[in-house]
């Protein structure tokens, strides 16, 4: 089931590349900060860490009215670690970016797709962790469906800032939902 979803997302993304308009800036790269807002994740690793993103938005004819959208695919990476414990998340989502104003600077975004989360625990005894996480010195990777919701602002030069909330649920007693605040540029 997961393999079919990944295949669908990849085929959709590749298909959208074929339809991009000349002169558009469909690709994006970003860096930022990810943050867990819940106590179990903060106790297991740090509350925040570096996040990176890559994206492709299918270019369409110029949009002149709010509510117009362009679909695309996004890859997000977020990693935190503390005392040998580590929580790494990869997300591959597909969904629309909807412009909220006529100048096409403010937008909302929504994506659904596949997330992979890897929990690694330190080999040291007495390591602070919830009772259901993998035993000390082990790691576990889980792949699941997830979603993201976001708001962003972009300049006509292609610089953007975007805040997203990633919905992943809980795994092994750790709430994997997190936010990312990213700054990047389109090219």
Say yes or no to pLDDT of 169 above 80: yes
Residues 6 or more apart in contact with residue 161 via CB below 8 angstroms: 152, 153, 181, 182, 183
Cα of first residue to Cα of last residue in the chain, in angstroms, is 34
User: Which pTM was predicted?
Assistant: 0.78
User: What's the half-sphere exposure (Cβ side, CA atoms, 13 Å) at 67?
Assistant: 1
Higher pLDDT, 45 or 185: 185
Higher pLDDT, 45 or 35: 35
pLDDT tens track for 59-88: 655 554 566 778 899 999 999 988 888 889
| CA atoms of 74 and 91, how far apart (whole Å) | 8
Q: What percent of the chain has pLDDT over 90?
A: 44
Say yes or no to pLDDT of 164 above 90: yes
**How many CB atoms are located within 10 Å of the residue 133 CB?**
21
Residue ranges making up the domain that contains 178: 2-186
pLDDT tens track for 3-17: 554 454 444 444 444
Q: Write down the residue that tokens 């990869």 correspond to.
A: 90
Residue 55, domain CATH = 2.40.160.20
**124 by DSSP, 3-state: which?**
coil
Total number of domains constituting the chain: 1
Say yes or no to pLDDT of 165 above 90: yes
């Amino acid at each position: 089931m997961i393999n079919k979803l990944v295949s669908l997302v990849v085929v959709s993304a590749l298909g959208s590349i074929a339809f991009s308009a000349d002169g558009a800036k469909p690709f994006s790269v970003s860096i930022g900060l990810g943050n867990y807002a819940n106590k179990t994740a903060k106790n297991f690793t740090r509350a925040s860490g570096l996040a990176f993103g890559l994206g492709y938005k299918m270019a369409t004819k110029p949009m002149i009215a709010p509510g117009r959208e362009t679909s695309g695919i996004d890859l997000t990476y977020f990693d935190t670690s503390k005392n040998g414990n580590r929580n790494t998340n990869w997300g591959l989502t597909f969904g629309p970016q909807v412009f909220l104003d006529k100048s096409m600077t403010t937008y909302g975004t929504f994506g659904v797709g596949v997330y992979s989360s890897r929990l690694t625990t330190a080999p040291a005894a007495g390591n602070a962790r919830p009772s259901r996480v993998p035993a000390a010195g082990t790691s576990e990777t889980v792949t699941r469906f997830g979603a993201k919701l976001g708001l962003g602002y972009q300049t006509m030069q292609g610089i953007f800032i975007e805040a997203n909330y990633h919905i992943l649920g809980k795994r092994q007693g750790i709430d994997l939902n997190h936010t990312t605040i990213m700054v990047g540029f389109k090219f």
